[in-house]
Amino acid sequence: MRTGHELFVHGLSDMMDAERQLVEALEENANDSSRAELKKAFEQHRKETEGQIERLQQCFELLGEEAEDTECHGIRGLIAEKKAFSEEDPSDDLIDVFNVGAAIKAESYEICEYESLIDMAREMKHTKVAQLLGQNLKEEKATLKKMEGFSDRVKPNEMMTEEQRQKAVASAKTSGRKRAA
């Protein structure tokens, strides 16, 4: 690799592999999730990710290039981490917490990569490519925000102390009585 253009094509190829790997991982996360809202969020982002792959392909076409056969080690590392975690036979609550955390890591990684690629595209005057990458970036940022919201709500019962668990049960009972009244 000797030129900025070659580095840019390599970066796009890296993101193509990342997104392809994430389509499979998001499907697995949706299937693993015990909460309907989380399952729906993973399924929705899987569909968005398929669209992101299409936009990356459009970028290659605009550049007159083909995606390199490369591996995104960052995302593959996160996927390997999930596999190792799954082998520990975690509870459903812990799976949900892990999946949300893994999604936040993946989205953060993708956001950094897309921002870098957009900067390079603009520098090389690839305006249309930058716009396509910007659409992907916008979706990644929205997903990150959504996952951060889940992070505040998805808490495993196993992480609560007995006192916290009793307060949560009491609060739920009180809340139920108020709604019934």
Rounded to whole angstroms, the Cα distance separating 102 from 96 reads 10
Residue-wise pLDDT tens digits, 12-67: 999 999 999 999 999 999 999 999 999 999 999 999 999 999 999 999 999 999 99
165 pLDDT higher than 80: no
Q: How many domains does the chain have?
A: 1
Whether 104 and 146 have beta carbons less than 8 Å apart is answered as no
Beta carbons of 104 and 144 less than 8 angstroms apart = yes
Percent of the chain as helix, strand, coil, to the nearest 5 = 85, 0, 15
Confidence of residue 92 (pLDDT cuts 50, 70, 90): confident
pLDDT, residue 55, reads: 98
- The pTM for the full model equals 0.84
Average pLDDT, the chain: 91
Q: In terms of residue numbers, what domain contains 34? A: 4-180
At 100, the amino acid letter reads: V
Q: Residue 128's pLDDT is what? A: 99
Specify the CATH number for the domain of residue 46. Answer: 1.20.1260.10
26/39 Cα distance (integer angstroms): 9
- What confidence score (pLDDT) does residue 169 get? 73
What's the rounded mean pLDDT across residues 87-108? 94
